[in-house]
Structure 1
């Protein structure tokens, strides 16, 4: 039974309504149905209900301890290669199939959103490094780090070209959706051993201090500050679309006000959801444009 069928077949008790069923049935937020079901089922797991409240305080305490440690030895034990092998092992061994599915989707969708923005700003030529993993193996190849670098480099290169050419991002009458996949993202089946029990939020909270341990202090701060570029990407997309409808759910706000690293795990979850919502909106607009083109022809 698929995650979507799990909610579709869930009985509705009027005296004890399921909160996750209510959110799944609600269509006010643009969200891929398969991803929404996977995420909400993951949220309703015992891991998130009982394990997260216990592990989150320890994970955040470790962030504080490591921050103090990095002040003394800022580059000790730093290795992106080792970091990503640890992350790959953790995802393969402990993280739930739904959570792994959502993580890989994030890299895939993030690359497509940046491609959409580039394709709809006339006159700019930006080299892209799209990340489209469909299985866990590519995690070993610095996937998380490259994802952050791609985001920063895109914002810098786009705005450098706009400044040099004296142009700006404006609404496009005919949108170019060639970078947006409207069909199912071809992600392979994730490991389903008995050890793969950890939900997405708990996994991210646990992985955050690991991320901090194996990166330099500068690299970790850069990674956490990248989360606040959500608003930047949302504004760019809304300018191109010509509307900021349903882009108001971005919670990682003003990029000029950097936050501490303490709640990086929670903000990373919000970052993933913002990407899902924006991509779902672009898919919706793509299908609408295709339908209008078919009618007019």
Structure 2
């Protein structure tokens, strides 16, 4: 599936393509180009044949890493080498679709956090690391680690400010959508003959590297930041007064952490819920603009 499916696409009714059905479905508020990129990866030979081999190996390495960290919880600690290796792999082995979705994710997450801050605490901006990568080499600046740190720093600073004001996150009648954009600008992503690994398989490969090359505390924090999907989704629901996007959140209950063995799959779900929440906010922005006098 090289292009987004359109109504009228020929198919065999006796053997319908599941991916075609999902591509044509419009039940989720999902950017069409991003959804097409995700489906191409999910339907790829890489995910079909390589992922089943990679996944058990990945989980075994995570177990070994945790055994090592039981003895030396703060060693190894090589975030620069980790991000260099991730950037190298993205540039030389991941598909263009996978790289686009990864880079796009950082932009979406940053926009969602800013939207919440703009509306929950107007005039206050939490001090966070910038998350606007345009090319794979930008990952080298500890981008993944900083993304995780931003999540916790955002929650701490936002709630400290709310407590200072004696305020709570509640419905806002006139929402500020200036943080939410319709397009994410990226540089052209090159694709060579070896760029064949899909997004899901790549995440399963990177997760054990994360476990090995970061401290036990850093990996634990990163894995459990995924469950903050529920917290961010609830903030958005309280601000907008709408809750339909909450049905797509699978990383729930941050007070009761999941096993880190599931981090790879949960990271894929994290990307999906971020796309859906951002798509929901884009739709709401367009709807409010159309209703404005």
TM bracket, shorter-chain basis = over 0.9
Which consecutive unaligned segments of at least 5 residues does structure 1 have?
Answer: none
Q: Does structure 1 retain, via aligned residues, the 8 Å contact 2:121–2:158? A: no
Once the two structures are superposed, residues 17-42 of structure 1 have per-residue CA deviations (whole angstroms, 9 ceiling, x without a partner) of 11111111111111000000000011
Q: How many angstroms apart in 2 are the aligned matches of 1:229 and 1:172? A: 22
Deviation at 1:247, TM superposition (A): 2.1
Deviation at 1:289, TM superposition (A): 1.5
State whether structure 2 residue 169 is matched by structure 1 residue 148: no
Tell me which residue corresponds to 1:181. 181
Tell me which residue corresponds to 2:220. 221
Q: How many angstroms apart in 1 are the aligned matches of 2:175 and 2:271? A: 24
Alignment of 1:277-292 (within 5 A): 277-292=276-291
**Which structure 1 residue ranges, 4+ long, deviate > 4 Å from structure 2?**
none
Q: How many angstroms apart in 2 are the aligned matches of 1:124 and 1:70? A: 42
Q: How many angstroms apart in 2 are the aligned matches of 1:43 and 1:123? A: 40
Structure 2 length as normaliser, TM-score?
0.96
Q: Does structure 1 retain, via aligned residues, the 8 Å contact 2:121–2:162? A: no
State whether structure 2 residue 45 is matched by structure 1 residue 46: yes
Once the two structures are superposed, residues 162-214 of structure 1 have per-residue CA deviations (whole angstroms, 9 ceiling, x without a partner) of 122211011111110000002x2112232311111111110000100111111
Q: Does structure 2 retain, via aligned residues, the 8 Å contact 1:124–1:158? A: no
Tell me which residue corresponds to 1:91. 90
Tell me which residue corresponds to 2:273. 274
Q: How many angstroms apart in 1 are the aligned matches of 2:65 and 2:9? A: 44
Tell me which residue corresponds to 2:167. 167
Alignment of 1:1-297 (within 5 A): 3-4=3-4, 7-8=5-6, 10-123=9-122, 125=124, 126-182=126-182, 184-293=183-292, 296=293
Q: 1:123 to 1:134 in 2, by over 3 A?
A: closer
Q: Does structure 1 retain, via aligned residues, the 8 Å contact 2:128–2:153? A: no
Structure 1 length as normaliser, TM-score?
0.94
Which consecutive unaligned segments of at least 5 residues does structure 2 have?
Answer: none
Once the two structures are superposed, residues 222-263 of structure 1 have per-residue CA deviations (whole angstroms, 9 ceiling, x without a partner) of 000100000000000000001102321100010100111101
Tell me which moved more, 125-134 or 40-49. 125-134
SS of the equivalent of 2:245 reads: coil
Q: 1:170 to 1:29 in 2, by over 3 A?
A: same
Tell me which moved more, 214-223 or 190-199. 190-199
Once the two structures are superposed, residues 248-287 of structure 1 have per-residue CA deviations (whole angstroms, 9 ceiling, x without a partner) of 1100010100111101000000000010000000111111
Q: Does structure 2 retain, via aligned residues, the 8 Å contact 1:124–1:162? A: no
Deviation at 1:90, TM superposition (A): 0.8
Over aligned residue pairs, what C-alpha RMSD do you find? Answer: 1.4
Q: 1:215 to 1:72 in 2, by over 3 A?
A: same
SS of the equivalent of 2:163 reads: helix
